[in-house]
Amino acid sequence: MKRNKTRVLLLDLDSTRPDHLGCYGYHRNTSPNIDSIAKEGVRFTNYYTSDAPCFPSRTALMTGRFGIHNGVVGHGGTAADVRHEGTDRAFRDRLGKECLPAIFRNTGMKTALISPFAERHSSWTFYAGFNEMHNTGKGGMEYAEEVTPVALNWIRQHAQEDNWFLYVNYWDPHTPYRTPEDFANPFEQDPLPAWITDDVLAAHMNKIGPHSASEINMYDNRTLPQYPRHPGEITDRAGLRTMIDGYDMGIRYMDEHIGRLFQELKDQGVMDDLIVIITADHGENMGELGIYGEHGTADQGTCRIPMIIRWPGLMSNHVDNSLHYHLDLTPTLAELLDAPASPSWDGASYAAALRTGESCGRDFLVISQCAHVCQRSVRFGDWLYIRTYHDGYHLFDKEMLFHLGRDPHEQYNLAAEHPEICREAVYYLNEWHDEMMHKMPFDVDPLWTVMKEGGPYHAKGFLPDYVKRLEETGRSYGIEELKRRHPREFA
HSE-CB for 174 with a 13 A CA cutoff: 19
Sequence-distant (6+) residues with CB within 8 A of 305 are 16, 17, 18, 47, 48, 49, 279, 280, 281, 282, 283, 326
pLDDT in tens, 180-239: 999 999 999 999 999 999 999 999 999 999 999 999 999 999 999 999 999 999 999 999
Spatial distance between the Cα atoms of 451 and 446, rounded to a whole number of angstroms: 9
Spatial distance between the Cα atoms of 241 and 31, rounded to a whole number of angstroms: 19
C-alpha pair distances (Å), 257 with each of 134, 149, 189: 18, 10, 23
pLDDT at residue 27, rounded to an integer: 96
Q: Where do the H-state alpha helices sit in 6-51? A: 32-39
Residue 339: DSSP 8-state: P
- 371 touches 55 (CB < 8 A): yes
C-alpha pair distances (Å), 479 with each of 266, 328, 389, 475, 485: 58, 42, 19, 8, 10
Spatial distance between the Cα atoms of 112 and 165, rounded to a whole number of angstroms: 6
Q: What percent of the chain shows pLDDT beyond 70?
A: 99
- 135 touches 115 (CB < 8 A): yes
pLDDT in tens, 369-423: 999 999 999 999 999 999 999 999 999 999 999 999 999 999 999 999 999 999 9
pLDDT at residue 3, rounded to an integer: 56
pLDDT at residue 1, rounded to an integer: 44
- 446 touches 437 (CB < 8 A): no
- 310 touches 40 (CB < 8 A): yes
Residue 467 CB coordination number (10 Å): 19
Q: Which residues of the chain have pLDDT under 70?
A: 1-3
pLDDT at residue 442, rounded to an integer: 84
Q: 433: closest CA among 402, 400, 389, 398?
A: 389
SS3 of 154, please? helix
| Residues found in the chain | 491
Domains present along the chain, CATH in parentheses: 7-363 (3.40.720.10), 367-490 (3.30.1120.10)
Spatial distance between the Cα atoms of 97 and 82, rounded to a whole number of angstroms: 15
Spatial distance between the Cα atoms of 122 and 118, rounded to a whole number of angstroms: 5
